[in-house]
Structure 1
Amino acid sequence: MSPKYKLFAASLLATTLLSTPFLAGGAHAQGLKIALSSEPTAIDPHYHDLTPNNAMTSHIFEGLTRQDEKQGIHPALAASWENDGKNRWTFKLRDGVTFSDGTPFTAEDVVFTFCRTLKNETAIAGSFADVTASFASVEAPDAKTVVITTKAPEPLLANFLSTVRILSASIVKHDKITFDVANNCGVTGPWPVVGDFNDGKLALGTGPYKLKSYVRGTGVTLERNETYWGGKEPWETVQLVPVPNAGPRLAGLLAGDYDLIENPAARDLGRIKGDNRFGIAITPSTRVIYYQLDVAREQSPFAKAANGKNPLQDVRVREAISLAIDRKAIIDRLMDGMAAQAGEFLPSGMFGSLPTQPVLRYDPAAAKKLLAEAGYADGFQLTLSTTNDRYINDSQIAQAVAQYLNQVGIKADVDAMTRTLYFPRRAKKEFSMSVGGWTSASGEASSFLRQWAATPNAAGTLGGSNYGGYKNEAFDKLIYTAVETMDDKQRATLLQEATKTVMKDYAFIPLHFEAGVWAHKAGMTFTGRSDQFTLAMSARPAQ
């Protein structure tokens, strides 16, 4: 492990600030301007379960619960909740909350929101429906109470509900709202689509900020919600500006154009730390960068072998791909040490992770031997599909992985594209070996396993992102049991066994865990988050 990133050795959940002294007056309390490395693709909070989107919409909308910077769960629009030990959850809603247009927040809005996630025709890959599809019923016995009965025990419901942002039922025409999806839930007009939020018409939330404008490619401008139930934020306005290149982001910070920037290049951190006009926040994250392989189809679009088969269906080939990758070199040379090697899908020390992070070895000789045993001594053609504007150094990492694969005989190339093209194509299963970056929304091991590796169930609550068609009955039995196990100790054991099982199949090739890195003007403080959300609420003028 690189000493530059020894934060991981202590704790992935510890938030660490590496800062020069703060200078009063270095930031203006009237406004905050943030340069983002990855642009949000919509204002609709249910459009796409994607970190830039979720972070941005968190300014405007809220869930019944919220996660702190270490992904601990706290009350938000729900003041309290309780579970009966089985399937029934009762949420007591907070008094005195209004939407930004002054409409009071009630239980009807919660029921409407849950319905909308299941009636959202413009959602990418069924985003957030995997949470609400588990509901057998949702009742509102009074304006301040919501009772959810799940189809099966769901021990992490309070965690998951932090990701489902609440909308106002006033944005649609409706009769009495009920959780009756088959009969349109009482909605009599059209269901809102993504464009209705992007133009600001329906962007009504209960959060600390209101939408002023959203211009694709230019940015998002927010105004402080003066009636926010949680108190006024220090910034009257917040601008979120997409600047995908690290060089211009840094230049803008140095020139005073931005108060805060995401993901400065690791090579520039020394320069920033040596200048008392700026501070740096570095926070270990739960985001694992990995490749998902097409293991289901006998013929795969971008995996071509002389025998006409899909070589990725052979576990020996998949293991060879893992063995061919020098993860340490990628971390040292491309990430400049600002990452930690991943041997599973969650850092050690978190709920359900293995006691010690496994080490996936680099052994090109063993990779060549496995390829020969599988009948591919002469290799095969393989395209790595990747974003070029989503994860830290995503396209450069893909190029490095392709070079490693070429060294063991696999004729690999890279197809890099913007995430606006990439994610819809991946959802349509158009790739053979595709990059992914996943942050555990629940802060524990089932988040990745249930979403990416589980065989999809009819309800749509598991396996929603299993684009590679992975299927292992032993694994499915473990994960399907784990997600319904209310006893924490038993659930942790089941998750550990599920992780061991899926790792043996090499249908997913983990590379590393990213760090969250931010640089900012002195005169302000910034608290980094393990979910990598960049929030204006995490920035404060220095006292």
Structure 2
Amino acid sequence: TSWRALDPKTWEFNLRKGVTFHDGTPFTAEDVAFTIARAKGPTSEFRNYLTTVTGTKVIDDHTIHLLTSGPDPVLINNLCYVFIMSKKWCEKHGATEAQNFKAKEEKYTVRHENGTGPYKLEIREPDIRTILVKNPNWWNAKTYPYEIDRIIYTPIANPATRVAALLSGEVDFLLDPPFQDLDRLKKNPNIKVDQIAQNRSIFFGLDQASHELRSSNVKGKNPFKDKRVRQAMHLAIDGYAIQKVIMRGLSQPANVITAPMVYGYPKELDKRPPADPQKAKKLLAEAGYPNGFEVKLDCPNNRYNNDEKICQAVVGMLGKVGIKVNLDAQSKTLHFPKITNRQSDFYMLGWGVATVDSHYVFTYLTTKDGPWNGSGFTDPRVEELTQAMSVEMDKAKRDAMIAEVWKKLTEDVIYLPLHHQVIVWAMNKKLEMPMQPDDQPQFCWAKMK
């Protein structure tokens, strides 16, 4: 309910009393201490939220101290995304360590939950259905509308079938409807369509660490290590044509890999150059590839708006400058491990910034040990600045650090930015659901007229 810094390395948090987990056990400081330790574990995907946290000290059931290596300007932001787990429940079900996502490990926590939120998990059948039911003991029930009693989430892979389900009334809410069907949905008097700029940017990553690419016909060296090759590829991809034809205007062509609402967003650098195939060919020739080269592109086909269609278009655009791209489009469950395990030469990735701060982008995507840095990029100065901005409390100094990193990443074309996404939701006209840039429906806010 409140927090304060006792000194530059100690934060005190006073926890809400009377909160229980879904199984009825009380929420205490011991659960917070356990969760922090678990989230910092080697298999955790959340450890980068807690880079400055060195430990915890339980004072009593509802008071805890977080110990840090120094001042942390984004600690409170980061903690919002470390969701507290029940220590007793995790111990009971052998889940005291986080799931090893890279090793495709499945623990009890993959299909079960025990939180403190407004809805409880009734059934979890991945790729089939997930059913949530109202938690009658939710501590914050008086604050929100909290009108929806039961949520049935049904994945429907076929776009036409998804739209038909909404039109027929089989479903009430459609997340990310197919863009080609938006006009039809908007004309239906029983359906409403809402949109908002999303906190997510789409880009392509290039393996710049390997001595030789796995899928290329170039042997003995890596074309992506050459900045001119990366520049050529960026110029060959026509982001404006993709915006117009594939995205139907529902994207913002980008020259950086973070969205405008993120703190430290470099507006002056986010000016995507127009496609220039001739200049791209010249750069490739200067780099020693006058006839281009061959490489495989890994792409998801069920994660981002029109992801596979975008990749198909990029294959054609790069082909025009001599780069033969072999497309491998797969489900996100097969695609993402290639990136986190650094087993992809060339890949599509989308990045949302949970903490809405540039440091989050750098920590995950541009540091040597960044969990999603499939490019293998590393630079001593970027490492130094990323670490420094995590403890710098002087706003002007921290802003300068962020700006320097963005300038380096953009000028050296470390990634190939494509666009910032736009969120579109379609729903039964009787449903009121406030939109947020993170594209996460909050059903506790929803109302049915």
* Range of TM-score over shorter length: over 0.9
For residue 188 of structure 1, report the CA deviation from its aligned partner.
9.9
Matched with 1:160 is 78
2:442 paired with 1:442: no
2:57 paired with 1:139: yes
Question: What secondary structure sits across from 1:170 in the alignment?
Answer: helix
Which one of 521, 524, 532 corresponds to residue 428 of structure 2? Answer: 521
Q: Distance in 2 between matches of 1:392 and 1:349?
A: 20
Deviation larger for 472-481 or 207-216 = 472-481
2:127 paired with 1:247: no
Matched with 1:67 is none
For residue 85 of structure 1, report the CA deviation from its aligned partner.
6.4
Query: For 1:130-529, what aligned pairs fall within 5 Å after superposition?
Result: 130-173=48-91, 191=97, 194-200=106-112, 203-231=113-141, 233-305=146-218, 308-348=220-260, 350-356=262-268, 357-456=270-369, 463-529=370-436
Question: Deviations 1:283-336 (Å, cap 9, x if unpaired)?
Answer: 11120001111001111212331x532111111001111010000011111111
How big is the alpha-carbon RMSD for the aligned residues of Structure 1 and Structure 2? 2.0
Question: Deviations 1:49-74 (Å, cap 9, x if unpaired)?
Answer: xxxxxxxxxxxxxxxxxxxxxxxxxx
Amino acid at match of 1:440: V
For residue 337 of structure 1, report the CA deviation from its aligned partner.
0.6
Question: Deviations 1:427-465 (Å, cap 9, x if unpaired)?
Answer: 221110111110011112222122101222xxxxxx222
Matched with 2:4 is 82
Q: Distance in 2 between matches of 1:407 and 1:84?
A: 61
Q: Cα 1:391–1:192, aligned 2, differ >3 Å: closer, same or farther?
A: closer
Amino acid at match of 1:256: G
Q: Percent identity?
A: 32
Q: Distance in 1 between matches of 2:416 and 2:70?
A: 31
Amino acid at match of 1:204: N
Question: What secondary structure sits across from 1:223 in the alignment?
Answer: strand
Q: Distance in 1 between matches of 2:7 and 2:247?
A: 45
Aligned 8 A contact 1:399 1:413 in 2? no
Matched with 2:444 is 537
Q: Cα 1:413–1:172, aligned 2, differ >3 Å: closer, same or farther?
A: closer
2:116 paired with 1:116: no
Question: What secondary structure sits across from 1:148 in the alignment?
Answer: strand
Q: Distance in 1 between matches of 2:373 and 2:31?
A: 31
Q: Cα 1:361–1:471, aligned 2, differ >3 Å: closer, same or farther?
A: farther
Residues paired across the two proteins, number: 439
Question: Deviations 1:235-268 (Å, cap 9, x if unpaired)?
Answer: 1111111113322111100000000001112222
For residue 84 of structure 1, report the CA deviation from its aligned partner.
4.5
2:46 paired with 1:128: yes
Aligned 8 A contact 2:48 2:363 in 1? no
Question: Deviations 1:22-63 (Å, cap 9, x if unpaired)?
Answer: xxxxxxxxxxxxxxxxxxxxxxxxxxxxxxxxxxxxxxxxxx
Question: What secondary structure sits across from 2:419 in the alignment?
Answer: strand
**Gap runs ≥5 in structure 1:** 1-78, 175-186, 457-462
Question: Deviations 1:446-499 (Å, cap 9, x if unpaired)?
Answer: 22122101222xxxxxx2222211122233333222222122332222212210
Question: What secondary structure sits across from 2:357 in the alignment?
Answer: coil
Higher relative contact order (CA 8 A, sep 6+): 1
Question: What secondary structure sits across from 2:382 in the alignment?
Answer: helix
Amino acid at match of 1:90: E
Q: Distance in 2 between matches of 1:285 and 1:172?
A: 34
Question: What secondary structure sits across from 2:154 in the alignment?
Answer: strand
Question: What secondary structure sits across from 1:340 in the alignment?
Answer: strand
Q: Distance in 2 between matches of 1:192 and 1:506?
A: 34
Q: Cα 1:400–1:85, aligned 2, differ >3 Å: closer, same or farther?
A: farther
2:19 paired with 1:97: yes
Q: Distance in 2 between matches of 1:191 and 1:85?
A: 30
Q: Distance in 2 between matches of 1:424 and 1:248?
A: 28
Q: Distance in 1 between matches of 2:336 and 2:390?
A: 26
Question: What secondary structure sits across from 1:242 in the alignment?
Answer: coil
For residue 199 of structure 1, report the CA deviation from its aligned partner.
4.4
Q: Cα 1:163–1:213, aligned 2, differ >3 Å: closer, same or farther?
A: same
Aligned 8 A contact 2:258 2:351 in 1? no
Matched with 2:103 is none
